[in-house]
Chain A
Amino acid sequence: EDQVTQSPEALRLQEGESSSLNCSYTVSGLRGLFWYRQDPGKGPEFLFTLYSAGEEKEKERLKATLTKKESFLHITAPKPEDSATYLCALNTGNQFYFGTGTSLTVIP
């Protein structure tokens, strides 16, 4: 059965304290893994797409990586404005699967 699991559910960091969010998956035929950011009361906002194991993408303090079984979203020296829920999603070609998200709080 195709599944996507995100961990941890919630994460509190001090400003400047780097960490990683995890998205692990079991799907047949991955056509793309997506990371989104969602702020309260808003729709998910696209961050990255990764298509193959070993691929990496970066944007400001965020870096996404992909292996055959999981993806990591690394946050370097986070700031309070990075506080949000981060969602991962997988495209198998037939369907999109969304994780339940990691709620990140960055404390000044």
Chain B
Amino acid sequence: DAGITQSPRHKVTETGTPVTLRCHQTENHRYMYWYRQDPGHGLRLIHYSYGVKDTDKGEVSDGYSVSRSKTEDFLLTLESATSSQTSVYFCAISESGGNYGYTFGSGTRLTVV
């Protein structure tokens, strides 16, 4: 996937527990994004980063936080998982803020029970 990996690929967790998803890139791209994909919805932006320690909220950011301490890693944390956060999460990277599109990871399927 063009130097972008997500971990874990699958996770089942209980309501109320914290969960961290990891995105790692080897492309040295400045921009990194977290999206969620749900049936009936297009990909929706959760948070994005435009540099180390520079992050901002997307349209569905409630209940999520992110961190980027290194160019190559972008972490998504669910502070207290809820069933509504059951989804497939995709990380994406971009050189230019999306002008030439994104490259996506393979996704993490998260189930909150």
Chain A interface residues toward B at CB < 8 A: 4, 31-32, 34, 36, 41-46, 49, 87, 89, 91, 95-101
Given contacts A31-B99, A43-B90, contact A87 B107 (CB under 8 A): no
- Give the size of the chain B interface in residues (CB under 8 angstroms): 19
Q: What residues of chain B lie closer than 8 Å to A49, measured between beta carbons?
A: 100-101
Q: How many A-B residue pairs have CB under 8 A?
A: 49
Docked Cα-Cα span, A41 to B101, in Å, equals 21
Q: What residues of chain A lie closer than 8 Å to B100, measured between beta carbons?
A: 32, 49
B106 touches A100 (CB 8 A): no
B42 touches A34 (CB 8 A): no
B104 touches A44 (CB 8 A): yes
B105 touches A43 (CB 8 A): yes
- With both chains docked as a complex, state the minimum distance between the C-beta of B33 and any C-beta of chain A, in angstroms: 8
Given contacts A87-B42, A97-B42, A100-B41, contact A42 B99 (CB under 8 A): no
Docked Cα-Cα span, A11 to B1, in Å, equals 27
B42 touches A4 (CB 8 A): yes
The 8 closest A-B pairs by CB, nearest first: A43-B104, A98-B42, A98-B43, A34-B101, A44-B104, A91-B98, A100-B42, A43-B106
B101 touches A32 (CB 8 A): yes
Docked Cα-Cα span, A44 to B41, in Å, equals 15
A43 touches B98 (CB 8 A): no
